[in-house]
Amino acid sequence: MPRNYFASRDLYEVLHEKIKPNYEVLYSDLKTLDVGSFFLSRTFKSFMIENNNYEIWCNTLEEVDKTNSVVSLITNEEKTNSEKAFIRILNKIDDLQIQNLATKIIETFILNSAYKDFSIISDDVELIKFSKENIETIKHAVKENAKKINLNVLEPNIAMKTTSKEENKKVFIVHGHNDTLKLDVARTIEKLKLQPVILHEQSNNGKTIIEKFEKFSDVAFAIILLTADDLGNSKNTQNLNKRARQNVIFELGYFIGKLGRENVMTLKEEGVEVPNDISGVVYTPYDSYGNWKTELAKELKSTGFTIDMNDLLQ
């Protein structure tokens, strides 16, 4: 039977009603670090999809919603329900498989966050006796996040170089040989009342490729299309892997440096190998059903563009 909560009860007490005492400190510290917002991000959803756990997550959210037996007074109910769903995961971490999932969620949260002091999370997982391997995974993520402290000084400079998204509605499309995908993305951007920029459609004016690229890369957002244009492998393996063109990978790194990672989205064709040394980049799968369009619109909206989701239906 679902519990009946009264609106007058403290929100913190309600959220922690079912958390096991041993795990309350870890959950409380993660909540203080705003793990709830991470659960609403494309990064988290993509991570769960890639690890074949998104359906389980959605089912857990539905179960949480069914147990909400009073009218919610919470302004961000989706975030609160996500936090409750995570409580259900934490309550089962005695099961090593569930603990491994919780560890990967926490690791992804830490690696994709701006610099914060996550050292307390390392202490928490040791306190509640996570496996040695999972403790080391969390500690490594904390160390990687700590490296971002020096980037905080650079981020204001990046912001100064870019104008308001209300003024700059340009979205650069980095593409390979898949013209169908390129045009599909361009049409979607136009539907959202933004301006797609495709380099080969711009006039040369006697400029070299690099000069032309620098001129037209003054945009507010970039979409990188990773399509199966090349085949390659390491010298120690025989199998050839599908890869994006080298210039596409170069331009991916260029725009991450120029715009910041949050203003770059990658669309990946199925089966294409992705760079393994570009930390924190999330690859959104390109699907024929068009789910990627919704993800693109959400991502653009989250970075400051004025987006009407209904425009996608036109």
Q: Which CATH number does the domain housing residue 214 bear?
A: 3.40.50.2300
pLDDT of residue 109: 92
Q: Is residue 232 part of a domain?
A: yes
Concatenating the DSSP letter of every residue in 155-220 gives HHHHHHHS--TTT--EEEEE--S-HHHHHHHHHHHHHTT-EEE-GGGS--TT--HHHHHHHHT--S
Q: Is the same domain home to 141 and 173?
A: no
Domain-embedded: residue 291: yes
Instruction: Verify that 182 and 279 share a domain, yes or no.
Output: yes
Report the pLDDT value the prediction gives residue 167, as an integer from 0 to 100: 64
* pLDDT score for 102: 92
Distance CA 202, CA 289 (A): 30
pLDDT score, position 150: 54
Interhelix angle 77-90/54-67, nearest 10 degrees: 110
Domain count, the chain: 2
Together in a domain, 64 and 127? yes
pLDDT of residue 136: 95
Low-confidence ranges of the chain (pLDDT < 50): 1-17, 70-75, 152-163
Nearest to 223 by CA among 172, 180, 182, 286: 172
Residue 5 has a pLDDT of 32
Return the closest-CA partner of residue 213 out of 244, 251, 239: 251
Residue 6 covered by a domain: no
pLDDT at 42: 87
Same domain as 228, residue 118: no
User: Looking at the structure, do residues 179 and 141 belong to the same domain, yes or no?
Assistant: no
Residue in 129, 130, 78 with CA at minimum distance from that of residue 107: 130
63: containing domain: 11-149
Query: Are 174 and 143 within one domain?
Result: no
